[in-house]
Amino acid sequence: MGDVLREIGTIARALDSISNIEFKQYDLTKGQYLYLVRICEHPGIIQERVAEMLKVDRTTAARAIQKLTANGLIEKRMQTENKKNKQLFPTANGLKIFPIIQRENRHSAEVALTEFTEAEKQQIAEFLTRMRKNVASDWEYVKKGNQRRY
């Protein structure tokens, strides 16, 4: 079933594209909504962890977060116990945009799942979580420079 992955890629690009266009009016440039949402949901998280959750390159996350900081949507806090980790928190402005993103995402989900019964929604959610877990280990493996055998 090679087209399963294709469909996933296509859906992901389409939705990401839509979100990026719709969030431009809030001065959120490409992809930034992803990071802001995760930081709002996990205040105090460090960027390395955000990259891992999103399955995004470390440096890509670093620069996206840099920009969110520059734009005053999140802030980095240093701790006294740990001088290396920088905890991330949404600012008041970031928290103001957060529900807007949630609303948009909710609407996109509704559109995507039009004509799905509750049971079907339940089931696809479960399927996708299983797939994500299956894929996660390969991603880390390859990202660390290892070669898959096949």
Contacts with DNA, residue ranges (CB under 7 A):
13, 16-17, 20-21, 24, 29-32, 46-49, 56-60, 62-67, 76, 81-86, 143
d(CA 33, CA 73): 10
Which sign, positive or negative, has the C-alpha torsion 45, 36, 91, 101?
A: negative
Which one, 1 or 70, has the nearer CB to DNA? Answer: 70
Token pair 């990401």 in the structure block, residue: 16
Contact between 113 and a second copy (CB under 8 A)? Answer: yes
Q: Which of 59, 80, 114, 117 binds a second copy (CB under 8 A)?
A: 114
Residue 126: both structure tokens together: 């479960």
Which residues lie closer than 8 Å to 1 by C-beta, 6 or more apart?
Answer: none
Which one, 83 or 149, has the nearer CB to DNA? Answer: 83
Contact of residue 30 among a second copy, DNA, none (CB under 5-8 Å per partner type)? DNA
Q: How many CB atoms lie within 10 A of CB 140?
A: 12
Q: Which of 42, 45, 46, 54 binds a second copy (CB under 8 A)?
A: 54
CB of 30 to DNA, least distance (A): 4
d(CA 52, CA 61): 9
Q: How many residues bind a second copy (CB under 8 A)?
A: 60
Residue 65: both structure tokens together: 């977060």
Alpha helices by DSSP H, the chain: 2-23, 32-41, 47-54, 58-70, 92-112, 118-143
Contact between 59 and a second copy (CB under 8 A)? Answer: no
Give contact residues for a second copy (rule: CB under 8 A): 1-5, 7-18, 21-22, 34, 53-57, 102-109, 111-116, 120-125, 127-132, 134-136, 138-139, 142-143, 148, 150
